[in-house]
Amino acid sequence: MFNRDLLTHLEGFLTENRKERFLEVLSKRTNFLTVAIEDVYQLHNTSAVVRSCDSFGIQSVHVIEERYEKRLDKNISMGAQQWVDVHQYPSTEQCIASLRELGYRIVATTPHDTSYSFDTFELTEKTALFFGTEWNGLTDVVKKEADDFLHVPMVGFSESLNVSVSAAILLQTLTTRLRASKALWQLTEQEKLEKRLDWTKKSIKNVEQIIRRYQDN
């Protein structure tokens, strides 16, 4: 059961500006749209995608590390991973199964298959955007399981964009559209409380000692 008294106690160690900032950010966070990154090789690309998720209000990121492990570079994500929930999976199948269980529609981002353009794509249900490797894109596993395909239209000679650039373009466009829609896209009140506690703990030095003293009283 959520300990609201503990949250109140710990928030006493934060400045008012910090507490207000948490509330402001949480008011724009969503789990209606999420991102899955499949075996991206370059560390900076995965980390940049996580940073974009934080910037555009995506609360959860799913990282598949079937071939390449430890895909996050803290220097590039600039601490974004502490504000975003990063879930890691040893295989694409496990990631898809987990997202299906949570009620997500699987959408593969690819420039090659017949697909929706991002400017016509509608977010009518919980959606997980899958992004693939720099060279080969998404695996056949994702393409076979995908409910839809999505691409960024281009008019130049290049066939595709860097994965982190594609993610940033799509997330900026789709989150703006989502927040203007009638979809129930915001976090639940329970989710907001849990993230407030999580972020508060991450903002306090020696927080475990403070919690122990609180529990002993």
Q: Which amino acid is at 138?
A: L
- Residue 110: its pLDDT value, please? 83
Percentage, residues of the chain above pLDDT 90: 66
**Is the separation of the CB atoms in 142 and 92 below 8 Å?**
yes
* Backbone angle region of 15, left / alpha / beta, with phi > 0 → left and psi within -120 to 50 → alpha: beta
- Residue 76: its pLDDT value, please? 39
Q: Which residues does residue 133 pair with via DSSP β-bridges, in sequence order?
A: 137
Q: Which residues does residue 128 pair with via DSSP β-bridges, in sequence order?
A: 34, 106
Question: 207 is written with which tokens?
Answer: 């927080």
Q: What is the C-alpha to C-alpha distance for residues 135 and 143, in angstroms, rounded to an integer? A: 16
CATH numbers and ranges of domains, the chain: 28-186 (3.40.1280.10), 188-217 (no CATH)
- Taking only the tens place, the pLDDT of each residue in 2-11 is 899 999 999 9
Per-residue pLDDT of the chain (217 residues; tens, 9 = 90+): 889 999 999 999 999 999 999 999 999 999 999 999 987 656 678 888 999 999 999 999 999 987 655 545 554 334 677 899 999 899 999 999 999 999 999 999 987 666 777 778 889 999 999 998 766 778 899 999 999 999 877 666 566 677 888 899 999 999 999 999 999 999 999 999 999 999 999 999 999 999 999 988 7
- Residue 93: its pLDDT value, please? 97
- Residue 78: its pLDDT value, please? 47
- Residue 77: its pLDDT value, please? 39
Contacts of 142 (CB under 8 A, 6+ apart): 38, 92, 96, 106, 108, 130, 132
